[in-house]
Structure 1
Amino acid sequence: MVKDMANQMGTNYVLPGRAESYWMATTPGSNYPVLPGDIRVEVAIIGGGIVGITSAFLLKQAGISVAVIEADRIIKGVTGYTTAKITSQHNLIYNRLISELGRGQAKQYAESNQAAIEKIEYIVRSWDISCDFAHKPAYVYASSEDSAQRILDEVRAARNLGLPASFEGNVPLPFETYGSVRFSHQAQFHPRKYLCALAREIQGNGCHIFEKTRALGIEGGEPVIIKTDRGTVRAENVIQATHFPIVEKPGGSYKKLYQSMSYVLGMRIEETFPDGMFINAEEPGRSLRSQPANGSELVLAVGDGHPTGNGNPTHEHYRHLENWARSIYKVRSIDYHWSTEDVMSDDNVPIIGRLTPDSEHSYVATGFQKWGMTTGTAAAMILTDTILGRDNPWTEVYDPSRSQQVSPFAVQKEISMIEPDQGMVIEKREEKVAVYRDPQSVLYTLNPACRHMGCFVTWNDAEKTWDCPCHGSRYSARGEVIQSPAVYGLLEKKIKE
């Protein structure tokens, strides 16, 4: 035990538990055939995650012939490594969406994700799927007094949009909090048990799942032609449900996507885990939920996220997460550890719909911001309606061709939220700006690119510094170098109106 604790604190840290997703470890692998040659269907779907499998399931239920094309095995990518929260509570998002997009589009986002919860439950009940589905309240809690007002603003915004939100002062966690947004009528499940059941419903009667079949390119027209390493699929419509789209057209939004890593520990604790799913309002993000496991309970501690390729050594992220978990619970064992990579969009809203306005038969769904269980299901519902020629009330907010520029009003509102002696990185017309307000309320606006190798700095609230996550350079709140390897201070960057 002493050796283990020493390892955790030093450079000899040993990653705890099996290096495997719990969802993958507790379900059998799939074994669907490869594409046997050239075929034709009404809809071809590239990617076998939650969007691809749910879209294929819904389209088949509507009488449409489909083929899912997966380069590896289905439900093995991001969907197989998720936290598997089924929730419309996506951290503190609704107050910001109202400010930036207006109430109408914010309401589309809210309604689509709440409807996705209901759709998953309907499918689970109607097809009698054993997937550990359970209703749970979801909480975003403030772990500092500085976030308390943001919690209250989010409660008002969410309630204004018709979501089941309330303020909860007594968060059932074993440490001090400063209030939370509580959403009722949320849920959790075992994602592979659920989606493997849907996959079994897809296969047959003119519908197919092809594994170990890599899509190589898409040619537009009627029909759309999908070239693979096993043959050609011709279809009236194609959905790209891959992590990143394999085909990008000029004018697309994919340059505004980026990757984000986060880490998961599956652990058993001495305490009884409270009823609910939890995430904090601050950085670094920390998420908790439980999962029935072999007659007992596994607790999933998730967090330490960072842009892909822009973090600390992997073992440090796991060590930080484990130290945090052990600081709040008596951890009996850590059985699993795994990481996951999500696609993020610059405006924090997924990209769902026609590839470009003139792509009548080509669709895309990506950028789910770590909330893929509901947004992925909503994407399948939107794309199914569009392909079937039905109106869908949520298409506008997710339109791939939408402008993703943040409005000047939203930027000024964001700046106005910065308290004296606080900093924040904001975005202005697709450019990032590091903003610091000194104790006399004087604003300092800086280029957040570290002068060492260009990584973006982040605000360190405890030390009141700008810290580079790549190589450790640090700057004062006003941008002067205080720690190498950088030798020059951050450059001033004026905000133009």
Structure 2
Amino acid sequence: MNTFQSDTKSLWRDLEMDSFPALSENMNADVTVIGSGITGITAAYSLVKQGYKVVMIEAGRLIEGTTGHTTAKITSQHGVNYDYFIDTFGEDNAKRYYEANEEALKFIESVIKEHNISCDFSRQDAYIYSTTDKGDETLQKEAKAYETLGIDGGLTDSIPLPFPVTSALKMNGQAHFHPVKYLLPLVAYLKENNTPIFENTRAVDIIKGEQPKVLTESGHSVTSKYVVMATHYPFKDFERGFFARQHIERSYSIAVKTTDIPEGMYINAEEPKRSIRYTMNEDGEKLLIIGGEGHPTGQHENPLESYNTLYSYAEEHFGVSDVPYRWSSQDIMTLDMMPYIGPVNDKDTNIFMATGFAKWGMTNGTAASLIISDLISGNENRYADLFTPDRFHPGEDTKNALKENATVGKEFFKGKFNRKDAELDELGRGEGALVQADKEKAGAYKDLDGNLNLVKPTCTHMGCDLAWNNAERSWDCPCHGSRFEPDGSVIEGPATKPLEKLDD
């Protein structure tokens, strides 16, 4: 069995990229876009094409968040969801969800053709497969939902995987691509059209008004008519309780060299989830991407083991000669599994959010950018009401909210006990743990040179105690998913402030 150590590296991020300066002055624009994943870049691109003056700011580097750590399937087959959507939202709304994602796929393909983008785009059929009787029953129900909604696909007896399955549900004509290669030409388009882009510029607040002002960590600001929060997790809640209306998961991917690489895209109906697709490396060699092992952020005692589990699965079913890439990602699920896209509330209609893509951000994120672009430009969009953050479904939302907040409460109070994971002098190089330092609980990390970092292991968002992530060498919040570097700097929100450093 392969035993992974650090470090992780995303296949999609393994290429040369331009860097951009940090914001160093106050600016004005028509639209401020916060975030540079597929949602933020596509929104900026769409708005600039319509003549809007856009400023785009990014807390870290461009495309280094979830978009840079995805499995990059462009599909409307989002696991087993259409039977549930019909029950929860009705047939018309379930069909509109499908159509919104299909339009997003077509938009991506049209942009690729318009700009002659080489990004390994390939039309592929997508499959959900089962290996159990229970999974078969689930796929039978989902197949009926496909038929009801007129989805192009259905049950099939033929599936090109090298292991037996008991049933499979096919969706025709989906696609996959290289997301960074797709987005970099859009960034180039923004540059050519004099769109200011700033990296290492973390937004920390939004001041509401007719001209909302985005405040950044450095003290500089951008004032504009509209603001788009394309930050994956909204860092500003606007008293809407979004933190209680969604939950966060991490999942893992490996790209392996193997001789048995099938066409198509796959995900299973059962748990644990396994996502399968192929891609190409820079030498034109096929690699097989296998993803899965999802868990709530900060609630896995040994995240590094997730990679080993995926490796064992790949070795058992395909055979593995090498694992050149492995990476992990963070995803957000809303209470009803439908994204929140649109104005943050009915009063601040010039501030928009897009979140909760439930691991399917290539199409949902693109759909979000098109919806928000239409809302800003005053064009009608037939999907806007479907995804509105104002929606609430009393039965399902209340049940899921109680469950999610019970989990958050459990994690909050569990961390307040005076526990430790290791003795400070036991830490090896590259290791982190909760320790006692001068009678105080501390988050300790010893880097590869033997230098020690001590931080207060309490999330700066809402005070939950953090857990060490040995797969990514980060401090992760089990309550709302914020993540921090060993030195305390913020990796992912909703937190905007770094951890307090302690004397070592």
TM-score w.r.t. the length of structure 1 is 0.79
Q: Which of residues 340, 354, 360 is equivalent to 1:351?
A: 340
Q: What percentage of aligned pairs have identical amino acids?
A: 36
1:213·1:230 contact (CA, 8 Å) conserved in 2? no
Alpha-carbon distance in 2 for matches of 1:199, 1:206: 11
1:134 and 2:105 matched: no
- Aligned twin of 1:234: 223
Matched, 1:362 2:333: no
Give per-residue Cα distances to partners, 1:157-183, cap 9 Å, x unaligned. 123223212211222111121211111
Deviations 1:52-84 (A, max 9, x none): 000000001111111111111110111100100
Offset from partner CA, 1:108-154 (integer Å, 9 cap, x none): 21110111000000000111011011101000111212111211221
Contact 2:35/2:59, CA 8 A, preserved across alignment: yes
| Aligned mate of 1:184, from 157, 172, 175 | 172
Q: Distance in 2 between matches of 1:120 and 1:160?
A: 27
Give the direction of change, closer, same or farther, for the CA distance of 1:404–1:206 in structure 2 (3 Å limit). farther
Cα distance in 1, alignment partners of residues 158 and 325 from structure 2: 30
The answer to whether structure 1 residue 47 and structure 2 residue 18 are counterparts is: no
2:323 aligned residue: 334
| 2:35–2:58 contact (8 Å) kept in structure 1 | yes
Residue 273 of structure 2 corresponds to residue 285 of structure 1:
yes
The letter of the residue matching 1:37 is: E
Per-residue CA shift, 1:330-370, capped at 9, x if unaligned? Answer: 21111111111112212111110000111121000011101
TM alignment of 1:237-248, pairs within 5 A: 237-248=226-237
Which of 178, 184, 190 in structure 2 is aligned with 1:202? Answer: 190
Equivalent position of 1:487 in the other structure: none
Cα distance change of structure 1 residues 352 and 235 upon mapping to structure 2, 3 Å threshold: same
TM-score by length of 2: 0.78
Residue 397 (str. 1) matches residue 386 (str. 2): yes
Q: Which residue of 2 aligns with 1:297?
A: 286
* Equivalent in 401, 417, 431 of residue 430 of structure 1: 401
Report the Cα offset of residue 450 of structure 1: 9.2
Map 1:239-258; keep pairs closer than 5 Å: 239-258=228-247
Mapping of residues 113-132 of structure 1, within 5 Å: 113-132=101-120
The corresponding residue for 1:478 is: none
**Residues 140 and 429 (structure 1), Cα distance of their counterparts in 2 relative to 1, 3 Å cut:** closer
- In the alignment, what sits opposite 1:100? 88
Identify the residue that residue 4 of structure 2 maps to in structure 1. Answer: 14
3-state SS of the aligned residue for 1:238? strand
- Measure the CA separation in 1 of the matches of 2:399 and 2:237: 25
List per-residue Cα deviations over 1:447-497 (Å, max 9, x = no partner): 9x999x889xxxxxxxxxxxxxx9xxxxxxxxxxxxxxxxxxxxxxxxxxx
1:428 alignment partner AA? K
Structure 2 residue corresponding to 1:37, chosen from 25, 28, 51: 25
Conservation of the 8 A alpha-carbon contact between 1:15 and 1:318: no
Match of 1:484 in 2: none
- Structure 2: tracts of 5 or more residues without a match: 416-466, 468-504
CA distance in 1, matches of 2:263, 2:364: 23
The answer to whether the aligner puts 1:109 opposite 2:121 as a matched pair is: no
The alignment partner of 2:45 has SS state of: helix
1:222 positional shift: 1.7
8 Å Cα contact 2:336/2:396 also seen in 1: no
Q: Matched residue pairs, number?
A: 412
Determine whether 1:80 maps to 2:30. Answer: no
Poorly superposed stretches of 4+, deviation over 6 Å: none
Separation in 1, partners of 2:223, 2:414: 45
Separation (CA, whole Å) in 2 of partners of 1:334 and 1:233: 43
Does the CA-based 8 Å contact 2:124-2:264 persist in structure 1? yes
**1:60 paired to 2:48:** yes
CA distance in 2, matches of 1:19, 1:407: 38
After superposition, the C-alpha distances for 1:202-231 in whole angstroms (9 at most, x for unaligned) are 124442211121212111112111112252
The 10-residue stretch of structure 1 (30-39 or 273-282) with the greater mean CA deviation from structure 2:
30-39
- Which of 338, 352, 373 aligns to 2:362? It is 373
Q: How many Å apart are 1:405 and its aligned residue?
A: 3.8
Partner of 2:458: none
